[in-house]
Amino acid sequence: MALTIWHNPRCSKSRQTLALIEAAGIEPAVRLYLEDPPSPDELAEALRLLGMEPWELARMGEPVAGELGLKDLPHERARWIELMAANPILIERPILVTGDGRAVLGRPPEAIEALL
């Protein structure tokens, strides 16, 4: 199975999710999304696959969310995607994307089991 994980090794949930994938015998492509942020188009596609809106995937507790005033920002999809792509720390993690066009947010890590 072709599988990519948008991973932050400093995040315990992301590490747990990666461990579950590897325990299932799958060697995923690991995208360190903070170092290699998704483009707005990539983020929009991940959101489509997840069935989510950007404000549902945003990490509102991050200091940059406060600096950008996200709490009061109108829910304009394109603007949120642009801000999240420019500030990838705002993207909730981990995100798993399969080669056959499925995706899941690994929060909690057990949420990925249906994908595996």
Question: What would the two tokens of residue 100 be?
Answer: 């056959």
Active centre residues (catalytic): 11
Q: Give me the pLDDT at residue 76, please.
A: 97
Domain count, the chain: 1
Helices 77-86 & 40-50, crossing angle to 10 degrees? 120
Range of the domain at 29: 3-112
Q: Give me the pLDDT at residue 114, please.
A: 82
Q: Give me the pLDDT at residue 115, please.
A: 83
Residue located via tokens 């420019």: 86
CATH code, 34: 3.40.30.10
Q: What is the pLDDT along the chain (116 residues), one digit of tens a residue?
A: 799 999 999 999 999 999 999 999 999 999 999 999 999 999 999 999 999 999 999 999 999 999 999 999 999 999 999 999 999 999 999 999 999 999 999 998 989 988 88
Residue located via tokens 């109108």: 74
